[in-house]
Amino acid sequence: MILPASYRLRLPLSLSVSAIATALLMALAVGLQTLANLREDQGRNALSLGHAMAGVMIQALRTDDVWLAYSLLRGPEGGGADSIWIVADANGRIFASNQPRRYRLDQPLREALPWLPEEGDAVLGQPTGRVTPVAQDEVRRLLRLPLAVDDSRVGELVALLSDAPYLPRFREILLGGVLVTVVVLGVLLPLGWLWGRRMVAPLVRLADCMARVGREDPRRMSCAVQVDASEIGQLGQRFSSMLDALAEKAELERQVVQAERLAAVGRVAAGVAHEVNNPLAGMLMAIDTYRGTREPDAQTRQLLDLLDRALQQIQGTISALLVEGRADTRHLRPEDLDDLAILLQPRLVRSQAVMVWRGAIARPLGLPAAPVRQLLLNLLLNATEAARAGGLVRLRLAQGEGELRLHVDNTGEPIPPERLPHVFEPYSPDRPQERGLGLWVCYQIVTQLGGHIRAAVEDGVTSLRVALPLGREGRE
């Protein structure tokens, strides 16, 4: 049998087909069993009827009373009985039968029934008579009952039994079975169909969801798969885990790509800065030397000052690009944070923002003071600028699990989600008016310190979250 590919149809169909097959086989089995029982009963009944008639038959044979034998065989049904009964006399001639037109009086039994087995010991040895199966068109079982008085044969009673009375009953049983089957199936099939579909439904949902993998971003996929102890539930669970792993992998890849891009930009910037820095230092030194050895006139001094300032500006810009872990061994102390608060005060006043400071450090931490100060200052200045008038700036400091966590929040205009992955790139196109190196510098510092930084927007609050690993001193 060719089943459709989908279990959506296959399972309900299989249930229905097995229900139908079971019902039909049951009907057939009951029918055949009944037929066998009826046949057995028929043989037994015929034998007892033969015994019941034997006495009168012997009397009829001895007194040559054909009518008596006939009226007994004819019975209340007349000639319409399903079984054929024949009495033969001692010479093997028909004495009476319940079908007198077919089995004529005085006709030799052997002529009427040529197929009748020879009377051997099989029959004579069975004075109580016996029923044997025969394979004739109309006759299925043959009863032979010898009629004897004191061991002297006076005749024989023969009954030809057919299936005719039972076939209609057999058909009736079969038909009844089929009808019952149809009725039962009328109830069972829709139930089985629904049940099958219900059983298959989680599998179908899982398959649908799986088909979406590869076409959709696993981080945004949500699938209502069944998760329980059943095999399908376990499959669902594994699938959910797989989706999570895929989402994690995609996120990692994205971070790696971003980090690599930022690192590449950093390397280019650092290279350019080094190349520019050396001639710049030379030019500044030349101007200084010139001033020390000569007394320039007013016009020259003015020119030199102009040059000096321009070169200093270039150097300032370059040094901003050139973020390097300086050989600063001083550890971050609580006072550094106090300094930051003081440094920020004028800016807060000017922007009318409110600063909330949570958490503090109790003792020096295993982190270099200068980069962390620069990092925090940058972050806080950015936040103050973004918070605008009346906005809130919040710093949260927390120490734990070998790292220092710094969260800087502001309630200003949130960063649009599509811009979040790009906030750490220099000269961000969405803020063209700024120098745009603030967050990039922060990123460089955090990366050099071995930590990580990310930007997030939650409930309209922009949050920059930094985690810095602590050195040995800080952990003690």
Partner 1 sequence: MPSCTRRAFLTATLAAAAVRSARSEAPPLRFGVTPVMLDDELGFLNRWARWLERQLGRPVVLVQRSRYRELLDLLLRGRLDLGWICGYPYVQHRKELSLIAVPRFQGRPLYHAYLIVAADSDLKTLADLQGRLFAWADPDSNSGYLYPRFLLTTSGKDPDHYFRRTFFTWGHPRSIDAVAEGLADAAAVDGYVWETLARRAPQRTAGTRVILRSPAFGFPPLVASAALPDALRRELRRLFLAQVQDAEGRALLADLNLDTFSIEEETLYDDIARMAARLAQGAVG
Binding site for partner 1 (CB under 8 A): 64-67, 70-71, 74, 78-79, 96, 100-101, 104-106
Query: Which of 86/206 has CB closer to partner 1?
Result: 86
| Cβ 58 to partner 1 shortest distance, Å | 17
Phi then psi for residue 126, to 5 deg, are: -120, 75
Report how far residue 314's alpha carbon sits from residue 324's, in angstroms, rounded to the nearest whole number. Answer: 18
H-run or E-run covering 176: helix 167-212
| Cβ 154 to partner 1 shortest distance, Å | 16
| Cβ 153 to partner 1 shortest distance, Å | 20
Report how far residue 345's alpha carbon sits from residue 372's, in angstroms, rounded to the nearest whole number. Answer: 19
End-to-end CA distance of the chain: 75
**Residue among 419, 455, 451 at smallest CA distance from 439:** 455
Query: Which of 11/96 has CB closer to partner 1?
Result: 96
| Cβ 105 to partner 1 shortest distance, Å | 5
Query: Which of 100/469 has CB closer to partner 1?
Result: 100
| Cβ 66 to partner 1 shortest distance, Å | 4
Q: Are 50 and 143 in contact, with CB atoms under 8 Å apart?
A: yes
Residue showing tokens 């009808």 = 179
Task: Give 400's Cβ-side CA count (13 Å radius).
Answer: 5
| Cβ 101 to partner 1 shortest distance, Å | 3
Query: Which of 70/195 has CB closer to partner 1?
Result: 70
Q: DSSP letter string over 134-174?
A: ---SS-SEEEEEEEEETTEEEEEEEEEE-STTTHHHHHHHH
Query: Which of 157/468 has CB closer to partner 1?
Result: 157
| Cβ 167 to partner 1 shortest distance, Å | 26
| Cβ 76 to partner 1 shortest distance, Å | 11
Report how far residue 87's alpha carbon sits from residue 71's, in angstroms, rounded to the nearest whole number. Answer: 12
Query: Which of 72/466 has CB closer to partner 1?
Result: 72
Query: Which of 53/225 has CB closer to partner 1?
Result: 53
Query: Which of 80/402 has CB closer to partner 1?
Result: 80
Q: What residues contact residue 185 under an 8 Å CB cut-off, 6+ apart?
A: 16, 19, 20, 23
Partners of residue 332 on adjacent β-strands: 365
The token duo for 186 is 């009328």
